[in-house]
Amino acid sequence: MRTQQLAVTAFACLLGSTTAISLAGSRRDGSAPRVVQHDIQRRHVADPIQHDRNRQRTKKRDTVEVELDNEQTLYFMDISIGTPPQDFRMHIDTGSSDLWVNVDDSRLCEMRSDPCDASGTYSANSSDTYHYLNSDFNISYVDGSGSYGDYAEETVRFGGITLKNQQFGIGYVSGVMQGIIGIGYPVNEVAVTYGYDPYPNIPANLLEHDHINTNAYSLWLNDLDASQGSILFGGVNTEKYTGSLQSVPIIPVYHDIYAEFTIALTALGANGENGALIDNVAIGALLDSGSSLMYLPNDITQSVYNAVGAQYDSSSGAAFVPCSLADEPGTLDFTFSAPTIRVPLNELVLPAYTQDNEPVCIFGILPAGSSTPVLGDTFLRSAYVVYDMSNNEISLAQTRFNSTEDDIQEITQGSNGVPDATQVQSAVTSVAQVSDGARIEGGVGSFGGSSSSSDNAAQATAAPGYNLALLGAAGMMIAAF
């Protein structure tokens, strides 16, 4: 089993109930907008660093995005599968593309502690709408754990809608306690590496069945201290952000193959001064709701640590800050060609454990080493993000924490379909090559103040390119078509 490096304290163990929200109509004819909204809940993460480390290892080596986690989940939503309905609490993951669930008699789920209970387990024999497809479902992890079994079709319900014949995975052999709802590009599905055509995953199937107009959704995670956010398929809730949305292109993994939500981070500033820490760069960064933390190039991470007084501890792989940093008024400001998202310092200070009755806090940014930079939940909470797979664009605005108002507008077809969004002119579309140097993990002294740490960092260059792992992935996908 995986080792725990940080002791556990609750971040916020808030398991609220889920309700589908009734929507205020915003179509001209007065009918309800064609959107599907669902609350999402936040749950504590026992050890965000270990959680992310496992994910990243797999991401770096495998061609298929897999979700690695057990109970250390952050954002999840309730769905039901089958007839009569069986209930699940699923981890929402923009970094993978399959929906899959556990069964109750796998070795893992049979353990006395009932590790799979919180998320739910599926019984094909108890459902009238189960339909077997094949036995090529296999999500695997580099550390040897994983989940495999069958692909099947079922009736899936959430947010007040019913999707019939939704393809999903069943983990008859599983090392992962939590069911996942992967909402990325279909080309990233496990099935594709097994030579199948991409199938309509949840967002694509919502489109196919006219529940939404276009393959796009918005994710509002809300404040670190809040228990609920929401996911809105096919729409934008203009009350959940300030200013207006700005759209930047998603960076393809290879030529015109779009497989992941990577966009170009072009500057990093502080306290309202854009670019104060680093400017005129082009760093490909993955928007990943399944990552708890952010991972930035080593040299940039070091300048952030210098700015906030964080101490990187190579033995635990964590960066420590005084918990009082959360009371400081500053922000870190992330620019993507034009839109800038200001992340308040208190969103970056995570209580980790208690030592001698004093709380110990870790910082929400870690060095990426040679792997792809990731903007995980410590970034995403401060942004309202529209993931538009139909147009291969991301629209961003500064989130409005704790907003209780709703103004839901549907996303329409076409290149300007995201309401209240403008396309950024001359947005950066090519990103730096990520060097394939040694990784930081495991606590070698390659990070922590020496200027040579930048040897391993992603360097901003004018050359277009992508990291080798992703090019490998693209090769696999081309082969599969």
The contact set with ligand NAG (CB under 6 A) reads 124-125, 138, 140, 148, 223, 225-226, 401-402
CB closer to ligand NAG out of 149 and 419 = 149
- Concatenating the DSSP letter of every residue in 19-44 gives -PPPPPP-STTSPPPS-EEEEEEE--
Helix orientation angle between 468-480 and 48-61, rounded to the nearest 10 degrees = 60
CB closer to ligand NAG out of 125 and 425 = 125
Distance in angstroms (rounded) separating the CA atoms of residues 274 and 332: 9
CB closer to ligand NAG out of 140 and 316 = 140
CB of 193 to ligand NAG, least distance (A): 8
Instruction: Kindly name the residue from 47, 52, 93, 223 that is annotated as catalytic.
Output: 93
Question: Which of 374, 271, 385, 388 has its CA nearest to residue 332?
Answer: 271
C-alpha to C-alpha distances, 183 to 27, 91, 158, 260, 329, nearest whole angstrom = 26, 10, 14, 10, 34
CB closer to ligand NAG out of 140 and 314 = 140
Does 39 participate in catalysis according to the annotation?
no
CB of 303 to ligand NAG, least distance (A): 26
366, two tokens = 């870690």
Residue at shortest CB range from ligand NAG: 225
CB of 227 to ligand NAG, least distance (A): 7
Cis preceding linkage at 84, omega within 30: yes
CB closer to ligand NAG out of 78 and 347 = 347
CB of 131 to ligand NAG, least distance (A): 12
CB closer to ligand NAG out of 223 and 410 = 223
Residue ranges of E strands in 336-454: 340-344, 349-355, 358-363, 365-367, 374-375, 383-388, 393-399, 408-410, 421-423
CB of 403 to ligand NAG, least distance (A): 10
**Taking the CA of residue 191 as centre, how many other CA atoms within 13 Å lie in the half-sphere pointing to its CB?**
24
Does 128 participate in catalysis according to the annotation?
no
To which H or E segment does residue 50 belong? Answer: helix 48-61
CB closer to ligand NAG out of 161 and 226 = 226
- Would you give the end-to-end CA distance of the chain in angstroms? 37
Distance in angstroms (rounded) separating the CA atoms of residues 365 and 319: 8
Instruction: Kindly name the residue from 288, 333, 377, 388 that is annotated as catalytic.
Output: 288
- Concatenating the DSSP letter of every residue in 103-136 gives -TTSTTTTSTT-TTTTT-B--GGG-SS-EEEEEE
**How many C-beta atoms lie closer than 10 Å to residue 131's C-beta?**
12
CB of 135 to ligand NAG, least distance (A): 8
CB of 420 to ligand NAG, least distance (A): 22
Q: Indicate which residues carry an active-site annotation.
A: 93, 288
